[in-house]
Amino acid sequence: MDPVNILCVKWGTKYGPDYVNKLASMVSRNMSRPYRFVCLTDDATGIDPSIETHPLPAIGIPEFDAATGWTRLHGWLKVTVFAAPLYDLTGPTLFLDVDIVITGPLDPFFDPPGEFIVIKEWDKRDETGNTSVFRYTAGAHGDLIAHLSRSLDSAQSDYRNEQEFVTTYFSRQGKMSYWPKGWCVSFKRHCMHRGIMGFFKPARIPEGAKVVVFHGKPNPPDAIIGRSGKWYRRVIPVAWVDELWR
């Protein structure tokens, strides 16, 4: 069986190297097929030396190539994973955000056919996907970078973030499909109990979930200690996050 790729991106200081190290560890416990784990980053300090790292690839757009840290581009730097070529990476590639908790096997993410498979954004009725977890072929979509280069100003004014731009682009090409419902869930939307019960019961893992996405607040370390990050939301310490996020 040919190896596949698992890819993540870390830049700036919002997420430390521990997020990458723990992601790599979670992947190792939840993959049975051969794979190559790669992190694209502007600073490899603190990342376990056993993890393959490369600089964020230059894509020929000055505003991106010169960006450092958590700039106005924010998550837009994630589009650099569509560079062609992307170092020597080829073939099926599963992109994972670093602020997730893996709760089930990842091998199934390489089974469904499709050119670009992504999470269906939970709070959108249109085609928008959530790019916390997506699969594509490394080096096969340089046209997305070329399109962004030609329309940078309008892209960043017409689209709220990178994922809206990327998923709209693939959708209009007829190349986008979604993961089966329930594979990737939101910690806030699907794990936490609604209403008053959220004050008494800790978050749970929905049946069949393979990845829990932590978007906004709280992040995994917040969930472990029961820190919500929002005055109106209570988070009871979550033991399974402490057990799995390592």
* Sequence-distant (≥ 6) Cβ neighbours of residue 138 within 8 angstroms: 5, 7, 81, 86, 89, 90, 91, 93
C-alpha 92/C-alpha 89 separation (Å) is 9
The per-residue pLDDT of the chain, averaged, comes to 92
- 70 has pLDDT over 50: no
* Backbone φ/ψ region at 44: left (φ over 0), alpha (ψ -120 to 50), beta: alpha
Q: What is the pLDDT of residues 22-65, one digit of tens each?
A: 999 999 999 999 999 999 999 999 999 999 999 999 999 888 88
pLDDT of residue 69: 47
pLDDT of residue 67: 66
Q: Write down the pLDDT at residue 197.
A: 67
Interatomic CA distance for residues 183 and 180, integer angstroms:
6
Extents of the domains making up the chain: 4-178, 184-244
The pTM is what? 0.94
The superfamily (CATH) of domain 4-178 is Spore Coat Polysaccharide Biosynthesis Protein SpsA; Chain A (3.90.550.10)
CB-based contact 13:46 (threshold 8 Å):
no
